[in-house]
Amino acid sequence: MELVLGLVFGVIFGSILTLAKVIRYEKQVSAVLLKDMTIIKFMFSAVVVGSIGVNVLYQMGLINLHLKPMMIGAIVVGGILFGLGWAMTGYCPGTSVAALAEGRVHALFAILGMLVGSMIFANLYPYLKPIIEFGNLGKITIYQYFNVSPYIIIVILAIFAIGIFYFFETKKL
């Protein structure tokens, strides 16, 4: 059941990503060159809608959260390395798989690189623990950190999203 659900949801997710064109190298590189904000529009829309549903379901006690810990050292160092790699490949892990399926043969080398990168990380993991544990604040949400209701954060997020969408559309980005 778990595996069937994973496959079905993956097919739907992959189809939406492909039809919205966010899997393309052009869209990802153009976004970080600040020329075409398609993927930002896509991500923010998804996050605003998803955060409402996820938080309502959680407050009703119908689902659990799987928060990733706020590890300042690991996220900053990892994030910088990720950004370098993302600018070079033009793909993140999910989009590389979809781009290969869309016939972008060069994405295969990105996937091979990601497998090698994962292997290197797994083998260096014991030595990386000092970075991983540096500045670890544990599993914490934005609203817990600021001690407010989650819905206040969602409203701020939505207002921010609408603001940047308006900016992107007037600038034709």
Partner 1 sequence: MKERVLNPYIGGILVGILAILIVYLTTVLIGDTKFLGTSTTFVKMAGLIEKFFVHDISNQYYDKVKLTIDWQFMFVIGIFLGALISSILSGSFRIELVPPIFRERFGNNFILRAVFAFIGGIFVAFGARLADGCPSGHGLSGMMQLSLGSLLAVIVFFSSAIIFANLIYRSRR
CA 127/CA 161 separation, integer angstroms: 40
Residues 59, 134, 153, 172: which binds partner 1 (CB under 8 A)? 153
Integer CA distances (angstroms), 76 to 6, 61, 87, 110, in order: 30, 33, 16, 22
Confirm if 90 and 23 have CB atoms less than 8 A apart. Answer: no
Asked if 25 is part of the footprint of partner 1 (rule: CB under 8 A), the reply reads yes
Shortest reach from residue 15's CB to partner 1, in Å: 4
Asked if 79 is part of the footprint of partner 1 (rule: CB under 8 A), the reply reads yes
Residues 59, 81, 134, 167: which binds partner 1 (CB under 8 A)? 81
Residue 1, judged by CB atoms within 10 A of its CB (0-12, 13-18, 19+), counts as exposed
- Report residue 23 as tokens: 């899997």
Asked if 164 is part of the footprint of partner 1 (rule: CB under 8 A), the reply reads no
Q: 91 to 110, contacts with partner 1 by CB under 8 A?
A: 91-94, 96-107, 109-110
Shortest reach from residue 158's CB to partner 1, in Å: 12
CA 141/CA 7 separation, integer angstroms: 29
Shortest reach from residue 55's CB to partner 1, in Å: 7
Q: 29 to 68, contacts with partner 1 by CB under 8 A?
A: 29-30, 32-34, 38-39, 41-51, 53-55, 57-58, 62-68
